Amino acid sequence: MLVQDAEARSPLPGSPHRSGSSGRGCYCFFDQEKQKAVLNELVGKLTDVCWDKCITSTPGSKLSSSESSCLTYCAQRFLETSSLILRRFQNLQ
Amino acid sequence: MDPFSSPPPSGSGLGVSNEVMMGQVKQQLAQAYAEEFFGTVRDKCFSKCVTKPSSSLSGGESSCISRCVERYIEATGIISRAVISSLPR
């Protein structure tokens, strides 16, 4: 359910990152945790919104294939909508 | 829950307290997430399943709520996969 660490690496906060893969002084742990928190929040919000749009009847013993597709489409269209609106805002400037 | 992976050994005397701190941060984030998730599922399933509140939860309402929780968890997985595969590389 939670977005998990992609790698085990969590350099000590405040110490410079020696391996150089990020190429900057490292607060990697906080960056990673913040990214995961942002993703988890997005997933939570999207599930909330898309549940209301897609699950219109009383919950059954499994999700129907149309309900599952609706959920996937809903997430994809939401993200597209987000990009579209962002581009519109950028064009206004 | 996220298995806590230890950082590489450090020569610094601060090593232990940093590990503990990182563990606490992760735990608090996980806790906050769990509380929010609980609240959302509770609200959704109450609206779906308890349409006419009476003097107690009926058997039908209880099983609806159980199914609803499972379906919501399933839905979260579907959305999660859709979001992660949409992430830019």
CA dihedral A41, B51, B69, B67 (to 10 degrees): -150
Single-letter amino acid, residue A51: W
Using the beta-carbon criterion (under 8 Å), do B45 and A62 form an inter-chain contact?
A: no
CA-based nearest distance A16→chain B, Å: 12
Residue in chain B lying closest to A29 (CA): B22
Measured distance CA(B89)–CA(B76) in Å, rounded:
22
List the structure tokens of B23: 């563990």
- pLDDT-derived band at B8, boundaries 50, 70, 90: low
Which of B22, B37, B75 is the closest to A29 by Cβ? Answer: B22
Query: What is the Cα–Cα distance from A4 to A71, expressed in whole angstroms?
Result: 22
Question: What's the ipTM?
Answer: 0.76
Q: Which CATH class is domain B26-86?
A: mainly alpha
- Chain centroid offset of residue B47 CA: 20
pLDDT digit string, tens, across residues B15-57: 668 888 888 988 998 999 999 999 999 999 999 999 999 999 9
A40 contacts on B by Cβ (under 8 Å): 33
Domain locations along chain B: 26-86
Domains along chain A with CATH numbers = 31-57+64-91 (1.10.287.810)
